[in-house]
Structure formats: structure tokens, C-alpha cells
């Protein structure tokens, strides 16, 4: 007989893999959707945040984001230089954040591919010493280009 557990909201018996019973899950999902919608209206789509949100949804950004990931061979550059592991990049981080200097939004030397986990980690580290970590990321981009891109140009005759 397989073990069961109780729904934390209504105490109905559920499978161990379930978070909630079906009816509580439906209410939970609806509440989350409503909260997200409220956040979008009250925060994400107001003032400067609307400008940033529009930018991140633009075709130009989506194409540039894909270009950056391809340019860096699809890897998380931060992970490569901190652990030596090759991990697939999932997003592109602005080293100088948009709220800090929007004019650098599409500057290639301001964009670094990374995993979502490392992206969150970088924003946490920025709270400790933003300038130092911005320099670290910029140095990583420079090193990557020296290690991988300059060498490719030399082997391709140019």
C-alpha cells in the first residue's frame, strides 16, 4: 500500500507528489494569478518599470538576448569563471542595470549570459558591493573574449 499525505489546506488525503488536493490547488493557482495580475498593474506597468517591462518584451531585446547567448557559446560565463563548469545560459544579465543607466541597455559589453540561479545570485551580491561585482563581470567578459574569441579570429585568418 502506497503512503499518502494530507492536503495542508483542507486535510484531504492526497498523493505524496501533490502539493494540495485538486480543489485547493485550483484555488491556490487562481489566487497566484490574481496576485500576479495585481502586481503587474500596480508595480510592473507603472513609471520606469513600464519602460523596463516594455523593453524586455521588445523584439529587439529578444533578438539581442539570443545573439548574446549564441556569441558566448550558450554557456553561463559567470559559472565558467567561478567554478570551471560548463552550464547552459538561460538569460542575459545587464551588468550596469537599466535603472542605473538605460543608455547601456543594448551595449554588448554590458550583457553577460547566465543561469537564472546565478542571475539571482548576482543581484544578491550587488547588494554587498555592486561596483566590485560589476567589475568582476566585465573582467569575465573580457577574459572570455581573450580566451575563446580572439583565438577563433586568429585561426580563421583574421
- Listed in order, strand segments (DSSP E) in 75-118 are 91-94, 111-114
Look at strands 91-94 and 5-6 and give their pairing: unpaired
Residues 6+ apart with CB under 8 A from 80: 86, 87, 144
pLDDT value at position 1? 60
pLDDT reading at 82 higher than 90: yes
Crossing angle of helices 47-57 and 59-71, rounded to 10°: 60
pLDDT tens digits, 132-143: 999 999 999 999
pLDDT tens digits, 59-68: 999 999 999 9
In this prediction, residues 71-80 reach a mean pLDDT of 97
Amino acid at each position: 500500500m502506497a503512503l499518502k499525505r494530507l492536503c495542508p489546506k483542507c486535510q484531504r488525503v492526497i498523493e505524496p507528489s501533490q502539493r494540495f488536493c485538486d480543489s485547493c490547488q485550483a484555488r491556490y493557482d487562481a489566487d497566484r494569478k490574481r496576485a500576479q495580475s495585481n502586481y503587474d498593474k500596480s508595480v510592473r506597468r507603472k513609471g520606469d518599470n513600464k519602460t523596463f517591462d516594455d523593453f524586455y518584451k521588445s523584439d529587439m531585446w529578444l533578438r539581442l538576448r539570443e545573439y548574446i547567448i549564441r556569441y558566448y557559446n550558450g554557456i553561463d560565463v559567470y559559472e565558467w569563471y567561478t567554478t570551471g563548469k560548463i552550464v547552459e545560459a538561460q538569460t542575459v544579465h545587464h551588468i550596469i542595470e537599466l535603472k542605473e543607466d538605460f543608455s547601456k541597455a543594448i551595449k554588448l559589453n554590458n550583457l553577460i549570459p547566465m543561469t537564472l540561479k546565478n542571475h539571482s545570485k548576482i543581484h544578491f551580491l550587488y547588494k554587498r558591493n555592486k561596483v566590485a561585482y560589476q567589475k568582476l563581470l566585465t573582467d569575465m567578459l573580457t577574459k572570455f573574449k581573450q580566451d575563446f574569441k580572439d583565438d577563433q579570429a586568429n585561426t580563421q585568418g583574421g
